[in-house]
Amino acid sequence: MRILFLGDIVGRTGRDAVVAALPELRRVLRADLVVVNAENASHGFGLSPDMAKALFEAGADVLTLGNHSWDRKEIIPYIADSKRLVRPLNYPPGTPGSGTALVELADGRRALVLQAMGRLYMDPLDCPFRLTAQELSRHRLGQTVQAVVLDFHAEATSEKMAYGHSFDGQASLIVGTHTHCPTADHQILPGGTAYQSDAGMCGDYDSVIGMTKTAAIPRFWTKMPGERLQPADGPATICGVFVTTDDATGLATSVHPVRTGGRLSQLLPV
């Protein structure tokens, strides 16, 4: 299976860039499955239903969220009915939506997409490790599902690495989101799982993690709230990870970072 994962979309510039580029990216990479983190797509905070629909129409198979899942209240009834919009698995029981999506491709192959949220410097949710293990116990990689993608939405690189090694061999791809900076540690772990600590963001990198510099920088100088944070609106770099897998095992055979457009150095798998 050929899997494209795109990191956090930030604001209009990131959203418009992904909507415009995704059909061609999907064609060029011959992607079978496309997963996009969209928790910052609506003005930098949350996701609205109309923007979710636009991303699905552009070619996303699954959208994941994160700690900004509920910033747009109108997403609550939408996520309750959507099987392809995934919020962190470790929210309390009774939270709307689901932490997993089971996608069936046109050729009958199936992929499980799961999101969990870290707890180090984040909200004190239930244990992401234990709940991920419980969910993975219901599936058999290479048998009941041909691919498993885990989006770990977390702040600390140490927690992301611990999560990756914990589930090595049980997933096709484990990728971090949330910090908006693409890491240079893409690799296939010893057990056969593709891993990258953070996919980066789809947004303007002439910014502070996607937000305008004039609003963000004074907060660090003065420790006061100051001007309201707004997404930067310059040209966006689309960042993500592209993985190919062996359908017989579900494990990765290659992993490549994706960076196209905007300010960052360009990387696109041949």
pLDDT at residue number 60: 98
Identify whether 208 is part of a domain.
yes
Q: What is the CATH number of the domain that holds 242?
A: 3.60.21.10
Q: How does pLDDT run across 21-62, given as a tens digit for each residue?
A: 999 999 999 999 999 999 999 999 999 999 999 999 999 999
pLDDT exceeds cutoff 90 at 227: no
pLDDT band for 80, please (50, 70, 90 cuts): very high
Identify whether 117 is part of a domain.
yes
Identify whether 47 is part of a domain.
yes
pLDDT exceeds cutoff 90 at 268: yes
pLDDT exceeds cutoff 90 at 110: yes
Q: What is the pTM of this model?
A: 0.96
The DSSP-derived string for the chain is: -EEEEE-EEBHHHHHHHHHHHHHHHHHHHT-SEEEEE-TBTTTTSS--HHHHHHHHHHT-SEEE--TTTTSSTTHHHHHHH-SSEE--TTSPTT-SSBSEEEEE-TTS-EEEEEEEE--TTS---S-HHHHHHHHHTT--BTTTBSEEEEEEE-S-HHHHHHHHHHTTTS-SEEEEESS-S--S--EE-TTS-EEES---EEB-SSSBTTB-HHHHHHHHHH-S--SPP-B--SPPBEEEEEEEE-TTT--EEEEEEEEESSSSPPB---
Identify whether 270 is part of a domain.
no
CB atoms within 10 A of CB 266: 10
Identify whether 91 is part of a domain.
yes
**Tokens read off for 192:** 């056969």
Domain count, the chain: 1
pLDDT at residue number 266: 96
pLDDT exceeds cutoff 90 at 233: yes
pLDDT band for 170, please (50, 70, 90 cuts): very high
If phi over 0 gives left and psi between -120 and 50 gives alpha, with beta otherwise, what is residue 50? alpha
Residue 152 lies in domain: 2-260
pLDDT at residue number 228: 87
pLDDT at residue number 27: 97
pLDDT at residue number 225: 84
Give the residues across from 244 on adjacent strands.
2, 254
pLDDT exceeds cutoff 90 at 155: yes
Identify whether 245 is part of a domain.
yes
pLDDT at residue number 232: 95
pLDDT band for 65, please (50, 70, 90 cuts): very high
Identify whether 269 is part of a domain.
no
Identify whether 265 is part of a domain.
no
> Which residues are designated catalytic?
68
